[in-house]
């Protein structure tokens, strides 16, 4: 393992919300004392999916929308690894949406940090699954007609272990949410990160979010599923950030007896003929 110095080679626009996410990730990994030799960052395709290239860890950069099945396979092959997905709203909620739904249903112990800028940035500004109704883009010239996907409500409905939202413009809180997700030892953890695209989304800007995001009341009980649904549905004039939901459902891999014998990669194979 070596330290990499990318100098000025990071391929994000100046002011991109991905920069504070990258910084917060490094801080959270240090805070939780994650051994980077045991860390695997997995991504698909997109600007957010480039993040693993810019930090020190094992990396799997796969096909568009296929970060979840790759992470799933890595975790099952060696469940002692810390597996964290970093990809965008298009990659995770669009192309990879089916994989995400079933990962939450199975509750595999993988963390998914989704950079949600409500637009496709890599392909220069089409509406994504989380674009608001009526948003005008160069492709949706009459405005978006489909209702946006709600990742928080979907994760609560799937009863996955950890559901939270953060904002790239509040790095301290974002670091706290990443650290809390990393400390979640069992089950799927979804962290939706509001990440303004300064080039292709002129609506949901840093200013727009700062006028709306509010930290969740410390008195909120994340194990109260009805209260979690109410927070997950809140979007518009106010947008709650923080831990929305937790469950005590066991992780998928903890229910597989073969994994109790140790990681698959260290188990002896069948006798050779």
User: For each of the chain's 273 residues, which pLDDT tens digit applies?
Assistant: 445 555 558 889 999 999 999 999 999 999 999 999 999 999 999 999 999 999 889 999 999 999 999 999 999 999 999 999 999 999 999 999 999 999 999 999 999 999 999 999 888 889 999 999 999 998 899 999 999 999 999 999 999 999 999 999 999 999 999 999 999 989 999 999 999 999 999 999 999 999 999 999 999 999 999 999 999 999 999 999 999 999 999 999 999 999 988 899 988 776 666
- Residue 185's beta-bridge partner residues? none
Measured CA to CA in angstroms, residue 48 lies from 43, 87, 110, 139, 197 at distances of: 8, 5, 18, 21, 11
Model-wide pTM > 0.85: yes
Give the separation between CA 13 and CA 27, rounded to whole angstroms. 22
Write down the H helix ranges in 32-96: 67-77, 89
Alpha helix stretches (DSSP H) within the chain: 18-31, 67-77, 89, 97-106, 151-157, 171-183, 206-210, 225-232
pLDDT of residue 236: 92
Measured CA to CA, the distance from residue 189 to residue 78 in angstroms comes to 18
Q: Work out the end-to-end distance of the chain between its first and last CA atoms, rounded to an integer number of angstroms.
A: 37
Between strands 239-246 and 213-215, the pairing is parallel
The three-state secondary structure class of 244 is: strand
Rounded to the nearest angstrom, the gap between the alpha carbon of residue 99 and the centroid of all alpha carbons in its chain is: 13
Quote the CA–CA distance of 193 and 189 in Å, as a whole number.
Answer: 13
Give 144's DSSP letter: -
The CA-based dihedral angle spanning residues 208, 230, 233, 96, taken in that order and rounded to the nearest 10 degrees: 110
Q: By C-alpha distance, which of 242, 195, 238 is closest to 13?
A: 195
DSSP 172-234: HHHHHHHHHHHH--SS-EEEEEE---TTT-SSS-HHHHHTTEEEPPTT--TT-HHHHHHHHT-
pLDDT, tens digit (0-9, with 9 covering 90-100), for 51-68:
999 988 999 999 999 999
Structural contact between residues 164 and 243, judged by C-beta atoms closer than 8 angstroms: yes
Spatial distance between the Cα atoms of 34 and 254, rounded to a whole number of angstroms: 21
Locate 88 and state its tokens.
């965008």
């Amino acid at each position: 393992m070596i330290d990499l110095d990318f100098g000025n080679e990071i391929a994000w626009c100046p002011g991109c919300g991905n920069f504070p996410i990258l910084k917060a990730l490094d801080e959270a990994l240090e805070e939780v004392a994650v051994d980077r030799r045991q860390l695997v960052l997995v991504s698909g395709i997109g600007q957010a999916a480039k993040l693993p290239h810019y930090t020190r860890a094992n990396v799997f950069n796969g096909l568009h929308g296929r970060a979840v099945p790759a992470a799933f396979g890595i975790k099952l092959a060696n469940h002692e690894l810390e597996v964290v997905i970093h990809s965008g709203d298009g990659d995770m909620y669009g192309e990879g949406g089916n994989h995400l739904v079933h990962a939450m249903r199975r509750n595999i112990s993988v963390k998914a940090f989704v950079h949600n800028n409500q637009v496709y940035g890599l392909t220069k500004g089409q509406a994504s699954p989380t674009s608001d109704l009526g948003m005008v883009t160069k492709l949706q010239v009459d405005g978006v007609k489909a209702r946006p996907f709600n990742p928080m409500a979907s994760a609560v409905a799937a009863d996955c272990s950890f559901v939270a939202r953060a904002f790239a413009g509040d790095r301290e809180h974002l670091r706290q949410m990443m650290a809390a997700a990393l400390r979640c030892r069992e089950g799927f953890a979804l962290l939706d990160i509001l990440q303004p695209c300064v080039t292709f989304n002129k609506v949901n800007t840093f200013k727009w979010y700062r006028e709306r995001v509010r930290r969740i009341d410390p008195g909120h009980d994340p194990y109260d599923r009805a209260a979690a649904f109410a927070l997950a549905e809140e979007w518009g004039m106010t947008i709650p950030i923080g831990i929305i939901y937790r469950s005590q459902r066991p992780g998928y891999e903890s229910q597989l007896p073969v994994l109790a014998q140790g990681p698959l990669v260290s188990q002896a194979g069948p006798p050779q003929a």
